Amino acid sequence: MSGETDLIKLYSARILALAADIPRHGRLGDPQATVRRRAPLCGSTVTVDLCCEDGRVSDYAAEVKACALGQAAASVVGANIIGCTREEIAAARDALKAMLKEDGPTPPAPFDGLEVLRPARDYKNRHASILLTLEAATEAMDEIAARGSCAGEVTGGPGR
């Protein structure tokens, strides 16, 4: 019963509110890059469409088919990604991964709202779904940079 109670606590009102209202949900008409990522364990999928200008995200949309935790992560990303560099997105991805796997620090602003997902660290089977959106966004920025189509790109290259 304790495991079930913990799982219920995991789906807090804040997580459910984020999941219910994902900013920039959907698809872009003419993205510079589209990346679809899938979490094999649970089947969650995220498709990220992204445009970049002067080394920063200029437009973004994501189609999210995931559990409430993956949706909550997509919500925080969607609300904060415009204007971010590839480095900021990758730093958020890496910090989120460390927060979940090693109880590391909260991801840096503007993605510090991902702190709400800290209780999911004990549910390793949910980590992939939570990471999908930032992984896809980082990959999309890498694709755009590789084509040299984000004028003013300020990247040191893929940091995987």
Q: Is the pLDDT of residue 152 over 90?
A: no
DSSP 107-151: PPTTSGGGGGGGGGGG-HHHHHHHHHHHHHHHHHHHHHHHHT-ST
- Mean of the pLDDT values across residues 9-16? 79
Residue 54: name the closest of 26, 84, 29, 10 by CA. 84
- Mean of the pLDDT values across residues 22-26? 96
Give the pLDDT score at 157: 40
Residue 9 and residue 118 in contact, taking contact as beta carbons nearer than 8 Å: no
What count of Cα atoms within 13 Å lies in the side-chain half-sphere of residue 104?
Answer: 16
Give the pLDDT score at 1: 39
pTM of the model as a whole: 0.88
Q: Is the pLDDT of residue 77 over 90?
A: yes
Paired tokens of 62: 């994501």
Strand partners, 45: 38, 65
Instruction: Give the confidence band of 150 by pLDDT, cuts at 50, 70, 90.
Output: confident
Residue 92 and residue 134 in contact, taking contact as beta carbons nearer than 8 Å: yes
Q: Tell me, rounded to whole angstroms, the distance of Cα 117 from its chain centroid.
A: 12
